[in-house]
Structure formats: C-alpha cells, structure tokens
Structure 1
Amino acid sequence: IPITLGVILNSYYDVKFNFLGMVFAALGVLVTSLYQVWVGAKQHELQVNSMQLLYYQAPMSSAMLLVVVPFFEPVFGEGGIFGPWSVSAVLTVLLSGIIAFMVNLSIYWIIGNTSPVTYNMFGHFKFCITLCGGYVLFQDPLSVNQGLGIACTLFGILAYTHCKLREQEGNKSRLAQRP
C-alpha cells in the first residue's frame, strides 16, 4: 500500500493524465505483471537458470517481432530495415541489443532467485533513485508531494524487505529445529 500510494503521488504531480494514457498504462502494468509471473513460473517449472531461459526465449521473441515490426516500421528505403545503414546506426543497434540482453538476463536472474514481487520492489527503488538523481544531478524540480511520494515508496520497500528477511529467518529457524 505505501509503495502504490508513493508511486501515485509521484505520478500525479509529475505527469499529465489523459484517458488514453491511462488505458495504455493499465495495459502495460497488466502485461508486465503477467510476463514477470510467467518468467518465474517457467524458470521454476523447467528448472533452468536465467541464461538458459533467455537462450530459449530470445528466438521466440525475435520470431514474433519479425511478424509485427513491418506494420510499424518502414521496411525498404531510407530509414528502413533493409535500407542503407550508417556505421553509427549499426553500432547503435548492436549496443541496444547488448543492453537488452543484459537487462533481460538481470530480470530473469532476479526473478529466478527471488520472486516477481521482489523484482518489482527493485524497479520501484530504481524509480526513486532516478527521481532523486535527477534532482541532485540536473536540478530537476521536485515538489513536496513528489518528495512525500518518494519517501512513502521507500518506506514501503523497506517494510517489504524487512518482512521478507524476517520470513527467511523464520524459515531457517524452523529448518534448524527439525529432527
């Protein structure tokens, strides 16, 4: 609850809302949540590590995108997939691919070793650090309400971490007491 309240406070005082944006945001949250739960379930079901899951998932994602991309991106000519490419464009695409690989690998590793909820806590923490970093490094304006939102979110993350650590200690002590 504190995390949700904190994210709402930050978003409400930072972003302009409209109905279409809310629909896309809700769909994004739904799809992302389902994806994260699926990653955790498949990793445990198949008994694979993060690298193995990525090895099998990446070709399927590429095949699905191969069908969809031509509807949204030009295929031939200037700026097209099969058009002329500059060296900087090729390097940018390669760098983007490497970063995407590393992001996916870290997602699978965190979810596989913890849970989708813990991964989301990490994402909210990253969000708070990004907002604070923007304020400190670039003097981005930060309203009092956004500050309260960040504090509320961080409180929720700390409470979640405390509860998880307590749960782990309880599990360890129960295992130690078993004959």
Structure 2
Amino acid sequence: MGWFDSLLGPDERKFIKRKDSDAGEAGRALEELRSSLYNELRTSEGAKRQQQRFCGPVVAMSFNFMVAVGIILANKLVMGKVGFNFPIFLTFIHYSIAWLLLAFFKALSLLPVSPPSKTTPSSSLFTLGAIMAFASGLANTSLKYNSVGFYQMAKIAVTPTIVLAEFVLFRKTISFKKVLALVVVSAGVSVATVTDLEFNAFGACIAIAWIIPSAINKILWSNLQQQANWTALALMWKTTPITIFFLVALMPWLDPPGLLLFKWDLNNSTAVLISALLGFLLQWSGALALGATSATSHVVLGQFKTCVILVGGYVLLDSDPGFVSLCGAVAALGGMSVYTSLNLKESNESSSKQQNPLPKTKTSENVSEDSTVTNTATNVV
C-alpha cells in the first residue's frame, strides 16, 4: 500500500478515501434499513402498519368482492352438481384447510406477530371464535333450507342489527345522511332480490338465529383490528381452532345423516378442495375489509355484490330478472354510491383534522368534542 500511495498525489488519496467512506455509509444505511424493516414486521404495531400500507379500503374490498363471486360459483358446484349437502361439515373443511395454511405460514415465519396477550383478553378471542362458527355455519344452513328470497331478507336485517349493536356496545353513531343511504340500499336490495319468501319453520328459525351472530361477528373483527393492533392473519390464527371446535359440536345437530356415504372420488374431492381454498381467501379478504373499513361497510359490500351480479347477468348474459328487480338493483347501487361518498368525505375530513390540529384555546371543551367527532368518523368509515 505504501508503494501504491506513493504513486498517487494527495488529492487522489483523499478522493479514494472519500469514496470508501461513502460506500461504508451506504452499506451501513442499507443494513439499518433492513434491520428496521425486519423489526417492523416482528411487532404487532409494525405488522398492522404494513397491512394498512399495502391493503387499504379499496384494495381490501376489491379483493373480498372478487373472492366472494368465485366462492359463490364454487359452492354452487359443490352443493349442486357434486351433491355435497352437508353445510356445517363443508364449513368445517373450509376452516380446517385455513388452519393448516396458517400453520404453514407460521412455520415459515410468515405469520404476523400477535399483540401482547395483556392487550386483548382471551375471553374476547374465545367469543369471536365461537360466534364465527355460528355465523358461518348457520349462514350455509339457512341457504340450504330457505329460498333465496328469504335468505336475502335475513341478510338485509343484518344492517340495522349492526348499527344498533355498535350503538349499544360502543356508543358509535352514524350521520342521518348515512341512515337514509342505508335505508335506500336495504329497500333496493329487497325489491331486487326478494322475489319469493318460501320457507319452512326450521329454516326460518335458522335464518333468524343467524342474524345476531353475523352482526356481532363483523363488529368484533372490525373492532379488534382497529383498536387492538391485530392483523387479519394473526387474528385468524388465534380464533380458527376455536371455530373448528364449535363447528364439530354443531355438525350432529344441523347436518343431515349420510356423510359417510358420500363418494369421495377425485372430481368431488377436487371441487370441495377448491371451495375450501376459496373459503380461506374469503375469510382473509373479509377480515382485511373489516379491518380497513367497518362492519356496516362490509355488509353494504355484500349487498353490492348481489346487485352487481343481478345487473351483470341482465347486461352480459341476457337474463331477465324483471323490470321491478332491475329498478330495485339500480336504486340500491345508487344508495351504495352515496354511502361510499359520505364515507370518503368523512375520512378526508378526519385526515385533514389530524394533519392540521386545532390550536389550544380557552374553550378546551370544544377541542375535545372535535377530537371525539374525528375518532368516531375514523371508526365508522
């Protein structure tokens, strides 16, 4: 090195040292960035921030919409052509496959970290897992024993149930304009889809029993993710075993006999497996949508799917649901558009208030009220 240095002048030696110093600083910066990113993913708060960054409301609800359409077709294939008439056991297969996939993700260290146990009582996770079993199992059973019209009527009743339950449990309110938009949505969906109300006593009891668990299930999923730093996959990992346990308990009561006589050939098994994989994606996308928006918005998304399928069939497939049904679907889509625009407006107002906080004045009570309104808008959207 001494001979090499003697060939270079003082300026050249300074230039080389500066380059080595810059390279060292760049390497240290890259290492610090990689370390910070790793630490970000290994904490519940960091994993929650990454989920919010890459899966906002539009992405989450679009993902849920596409998967929901796919699983409708898959379940029609399984329960129709394949003849698998065991709705609770089919739900059990869905959650079992989901748990195996989550275990695989955990083995590869791809599962987000859960928040500390002290932040979320174990009773909350147990309650969510149990309610999820009743909500999913009773939904499939209701669809089996009731007509499509009565099933849709029960789904419409979930919306006011969620609004009432959120007010009772969390004192969460929504604006009068949103209430009007939801009324238009529910009325439009009822006109568009409720063409028959044929049902039997057992099916009606199942449908009525499903409404409350479905509403509470959505509320808890949304609240735990937004208030307790849970990610969708971490919450699924904690609650899925509980859901599987309660589904096993429900099978003897709600599934018909003859499960062991079902023909498990290659075609039938493949159809059930595809339905199960889509079921995992549906649960994941639904959890993402509930974490990014709210329980009410998720129900409105479900009604949006129904109306889009109805109008799309008329436009693309030459189906004829009738003029009255089409008018109801168009009215429902209009109400959904108004509801979504109100959500976006409140979200933008909330973001602007957070970026430009009000200055401290003597009227501290007004400032407190403004912050309360901001938090409420953020929770509802």
Instruction: Give the TM interval when normalised to the shorter protein.
Output: 0.7 to 0.9
Matched, 1:65 2:252: no
How far is 1:114 from its partner? Answer: 1.0
Task: Find the counterpart in structure 1 of residue 338 from structure 2.
Answer: 159
Task: Find the counterpart in structure 1 of residue 261 from structure 2.
Answer: 78
How far is 1:175 from its partner? Answer: 1.9
**What does 1:23-172 correspond to in 2, within 5 Å?**
23-71=205-253, 72-74=255-257, 77-79=260-262, 85-172=264-351
How far is 1:121 from its partner? Answer: 1.8
Structure 2: gaps spanning 5 or more residues:
1-182, 360-381
Provide the rounded CA distance (Å) in 2 between the counterparts of 1:75 and 1:150. Answer: 40
How far is 1:37 from its partner? Answer: 0.8
Task: Find the counterpart in structure 2 of residue 3 from structure 1.
Answer: 185
Kindly provide the amino acid, as one letter, of the partner of residue 176 in structure 1: Q
Q: CA deviation digits over 1:68-107, x for unaligned, max 9?
A: 224424477422xxxx621223222221211110000001
Provide the rounded CA distance (Å) in 2 between the counterparts of 1:35 and 1:173. Answer: 31
Task: Find the counterpart in structure 1 of residue 355 from structure 2.
Answer: 176
How far is 1:55 from its partner? Answer: 1.4
How far is 1:164 from its partner? Answer: 0.9
Kindly provide the amino acid, as one letter, of the partner of residue 144 in structure 1: F
Q: Percent identity?
A: 22
Task: Find the counterpart in structure 1 of residue 104 from structure 2.
Answer: none
* Higher RCO (C-alpha under 8 Å, 6+ residues apart): 1
Partner residue of 1:15 out of 196, 204, 210: 196
Provide the rounded CA distance (Å) in 2 between the counterparts of 1:85 and 1:22. Answer: 32
Provide the rounded CA distance (Å) in 1 between the counterparts of 2:261 and 2:345. Answer: 58
Provide the rounded CA distance (Å) in 2 between the counterparts of 1:119 and 1:153. Answer: 15
Provide the rounded CA distance (Å) in 2 between the counterparts of 1:66 and 1:28. Answer: 18
Sort the Cα spacing of 1:121 and 1:19 in 2 relative to 1 into closer, same or farther, 3 A: same
Provide the rounded CA distance (Å) in 2 between the counterparts of 1:134 and 1:29. Answer: 28
Sort the Cα spacing of 1:172 and 1:91 in 2 relative to 1 into closer, same or farther, 3 A: same
Please tell me whether the aligned partners of residues 189 and 307 of structure 2 are also in contact (alpha carbons under 8 angstroms).
no
In the superposition, the TM-score normalised over structure 2's length comes to: 0.42
Provide the rounded CA distance (Å) in 1 between the counterparts of 2:259 and 2:353. Answer: 63
SS of 2:325's partner is: helix
- Structure 1 or 2, whichever has the larger Rg, is 2
How far is 1:17 from its partner? Answer: 4.2
**Count of residues in Structure 1 that have an aligned counterpart in Structure 2:** 174
How far is 1:110 from its partner? Answer: 0.2
Sort the Cα spacing of 1:30 and 1:118 in 2 relative to 1 into closer, same or farther, 3 A: same
SS of 2:261's partner is: coil
Sort the Cα spacing of 1:23 and 1:64 in 2 relative to 1 into closer, same or farther, 3 A: closer
Sort the Cα spacing of 1:152 and 1:29 in 2 relative to 1 into closer, same or farther, 3 A: farther
Root-mean-square deviation (CA, aligned residues, Å) is 2.3
Kindly provide the amino acid, as one letter, of the partner of residue 147 in structure 1: L
Provide the rounded CA distance (Å) in 2 between the counterparts of 1:19 and 1:73. Answer: 16
How far is 1:139 from its partner? Answer: 2.5
Please tell me whether the aligned partners of residues 192 and 307 of structure 2 are also in contact (alpha carbons under 8 angstroms).
no
Provide the rounded CA distance (Å) in 2 between the counterparts of 1:76 and 1:7. Answer: 36
Structure 1: gaps spanning 5 or more residues:
none
Please tell me whether the aligned partners of residues 192 and 325 of structure 2 are also in contact (alpha carbons under 8 angstroms).
yes
Kindly provide the amino acid, as one letter, of the partner of residue 235 in structure 2: L
Kindly provide the amino acid, as one letter, of the partner of residue 278 in structure 2: I
SS of 1:141's partner is: coil
